[in-house]
Amino acid sequence: MLDSCSSEMMESLVERHELAKGRLEEISSENIIREPFNKYFCDMAGFLRNPAYDIALPEKYDTSWLNPVYAVSQLGRGYGRPLSFLAYELLGVIAYGVEGKLFDVVILEEVFLEVYGAFAAAENDDKALPEEDAVHSILYSFVSDYTDHTVADRVREQVDASYDFARKIIMESDLNDLSYLDKFGEYIDDDVRKIADFLNHMDEKEIQSMADTFTEGYRIGFLNTGKDLSKKKTVSIRYPLGFERVVKASILNFKKMGLDTTIYRRAYHAATRAGMSLNGFFGARINKQLEFDHREDSALFLDKAYVMRKLEVMHTAYEELKDKARVFAGPAVMEIFGETPFLPVSHDESYALSSEQQKLAIELSSKAGTMTNQYIPGDERSFTIISYPVPAIGDNFKEIFAETVKLNTLDYEKYKTMQQHIIDVLEMGTKVEIKGKGSNKTDITVCLHELPDKKTQTVFENCVADVNIPVGEVFTSPRLTGTDGTLFVSEVYLNGLRYENLEFVFENGFVKDYNCTNFPNEAENMKYIKDNILHHHDSLPLGEFAIGTNTTAYAMAKRYDIFSRLEILIAEKTGPHFALGDTCYDRAEDVTVFNPDGREIIAKDNEYTIKRKSDTDFTYFECHTDVTIPYDELDTITAIDDEGNRYPIISDGRFVVEGTEELNIPLADI
């Protein structure tokens, strides 16, 4: 979609673009800046003239300006970090150029030329180099000044279906000709082409069935929570490229529900990126170490003034779009698993948030979440998530894909009944004890909410296949007081990052201590967890306790040795899991929700979230990270009442509740 602006503004943009292109051509022959800075500017000017993702490839990364380690080694810390930040920011011109977002291209060209001009001016004044603060100031101003475009545009493309760049490609292209993938402007590798080709060879009925599972889960999510889908007009689909046949069928399904579809790109601008998360449509992840190295680039510009500026822009954007925001139904998310496992390497040369900036990041996230909820109320929206494997998972890809499709369509009624048996036993106790097996050090007691009327009320949700596909868990928001002990898992992947011997100690429901063994330095391990699981909070509560019942998924993972590659969406169903952060009901605690047996779920708040009713300064944590203990590391799960009577749920990693015997069959087949 071309920039929506007047012809005069477009003429001005075209003129600015032509001037920038001419200036970029001149840089390679000027040689007025001393080395190695001259090489940086020549290299990046060359990239801007002929942008391609090649510069981000892992095999080129050791000597790439995108790499903060290399940039600092060549240019020094004071210049290397901001210039590496700038190089990473410039990658966005590829996507913006393809999408016709000329304004975004021009502002990136111009900030690069402004920084170049500062170095050229210093040489002319015999100052050797510009002040480091001057370079920082240019980049800070660029991010801050253009939030009225970058941040506002991010809000708009979520709720405004007229932003139809990706949807047009999907609906109008010949999907049998894989060259359509190149129209998106994302990095496309062999794996993306293979999945698209694989889906192209599937029967139309199979594709339609996959789409029906996806969209029907979305519809049922509204139905089960008593929310009125008929009031909504738009839904956003977030997905990995290669799945266009399924997405196309899903768009048509949503249209029958009365919903237009928005499909927006992953964020590229520093003002809208969020660590390593890919919130939108995206191609192949060209270099995860690159993403990891730049995950806290906001350290360059995050201060109080910037927080205020971004929130003001968000508010203005939502006010302008409030009618569209009100009828936005929420996201339908398609995820993938099976990519090559990634173990990051931490580098001191990368930007990292200071302790003060971490507090500001939490403040910004919380206030932005609250604002979004004002315009897109949580008690009126829903979501659904589904996951599929990609060819990188190995030689058994086709078999794993077929089994995953089956997982996503397991018998709803059968699981509903078995899970109700589990809930009935759990609710005989007032707390639940979970213990690990062998080297797994888990020994934690989770306290449950009081249950005044067992005939009409319940504390566990019987979760089948609606918003959270595939089927298979019962969960609750625990009572924090008295929830104590150790949670441990030998290996887990969370948000694409690997953790070894991950351990949390809880006291009265909050994390008291934590560690892992990824790095030889304990401080580095703790920072890794704080940055990526605690999301810069000093502590988080246990927002959810659940027992996964999808032993079929677990058996598949063990049979093909892919457990470490499972997306958390499936992994959380393969054992008990514990979520750090907000509850599953955040911002919808007052919505009345019933289990299939007709009982009302009353355990939606905890001692922290209930403060929202009386504390005007209350804030959510804006995170929810599930940590799962696999069945083979699990010994027992036992409900315990106030008299000390014990009611076993799982013993020696097997379900022992009467009526759940079928859940053990897949485990016996391993």
Contacts of 572 (CB under 8 A, 6+ apart): 473, 546, 548, 626, 628
- Edge to edge, what strands does the sheet with 473-476 contain? 461-463, 473-476, 542-548, 576-581, 624-628
The 3-class secondary structure across 472-513, one letter per residue, is: CEEEECCEEEEEEEEEEEEEEEECCEEEEEEEEEEECCEEEE
Task: Give the integer Cα–Cα distance in Å for 118 and 125.
Answer: 11
Q: Do 639 and 617 form a contact (C-beta atoms < 8 A)?
A: no
Confidence of residue 465 (pLDDT cuts 50, 70, 90): low
3 state SS of 329: strand
| pLDDT at residue number 616 | 87
User: Cis ω on the peptide bond leading into residue 470 (within 30° of 0)?
Assistant: yes
Segment 647-656, tens digit of pLDDT: 999 999 999 9
Distances (CA, A) of 416 to 403, 454, 507: 21, 18, 33
Confidence of residue 6 (pLDDT cuts 50, 70, 90): confident
pLDDT at 4 over 60: no
Task: Supply 599's token pair.
Answer: 């009982």
Q: Do 350 and 276 form a contact (C-beta atoms < 8 A)?
A: no
Segment 430-440, tens digit of pLDDT: 999 999 999 99
Domain ranges across the chain: 7-145, 156-385, 432-639
How deeply is 648 buried, as exposed, middle or buried, from its count of CB atoms within 10 A (0-12, 13-18, 19+)?
middle
| pLDDT at residue number 105 | 98
Q: What is the mean pLDDT of the chain?
A: 94
Distances (CA, A) of 468 to 73, 214, 243, 387, 624: 46, 10, 19, 10, 14
| pLDDT at residue number 20 | 96
Q: Do 408 and 469 form a contact (C-beta atoms < 8 A)?
A: yes
pLDDT at 2 over 50: no
Segment 31-46, tens digit of pLDDT: 899 999 999 999 999 9
Strands 260-262 and 443-447, bridge-based pairing: unpaired
| pLDDT at residue number 223 | 86
Segment 231-274, tens digit of pLDDT: 999 999 999 999 999 999 999 999 999 999 999 999 999 999 98
Share of the chain above pLDDT 90, in %: 86
- Per-residue pLDDT, averaged over 152-180, amounts to 97
CA dihedral over 650, 428, 579, 375, signed as positive or negative: positive
pLDDT at 327 over 70: yes
Q: What is the DSSP letter of 367?
A: H
Question: Which of 374, 254, 259, 252 is closest to 322 using CA atoms?
Answer: 374
pLDDT at 466 over 80: no
Q: Do 620 and 368 form a contact (C-beta atoms < 8 A)?
A: no
pLDDT at 142 over 50: yes
| C-alpha 334: how far from chain center | 11
Segment 384-410, tens digit of pLDDT: 999 999 999 999 999 999 999 999 988
- Per-residue pLDDT, averaged over 340-348, amounts to 88
* Tokens 């507090």 -> residue: 359
More confident residue, 3 or 322: 322
pLDDT at 5 over 70: no
Segment 216-226, tens digit of pLDDT: 999 988 988 88
CA dihedral over 368, 370, 373, 379, signed as positive or negative: positive
Measured at the CA of 226, the angle between CA 225 and CA 227, to 5 degrees, comes to: 95
Beta-carbon neighbour count of residue 277 at 10 Å?
Answer: 13
- Per-residue pLDDT, averaged over 287-308, amounts to 97
Segment 626-644, tens digit of pLDDT: 999 988 899 999 999 999 9
pLDDT at 198 over 70: yes
- Per-residue pLDDT, averaged over 599-619, amounts to 94
DSSP states of 127-160? -SS--HHHHHHHHHHHHHHTHHHHHHHHHHHHH-
pLDDT at 467 over 80: no
| pLDDT at residue number 1 | 41
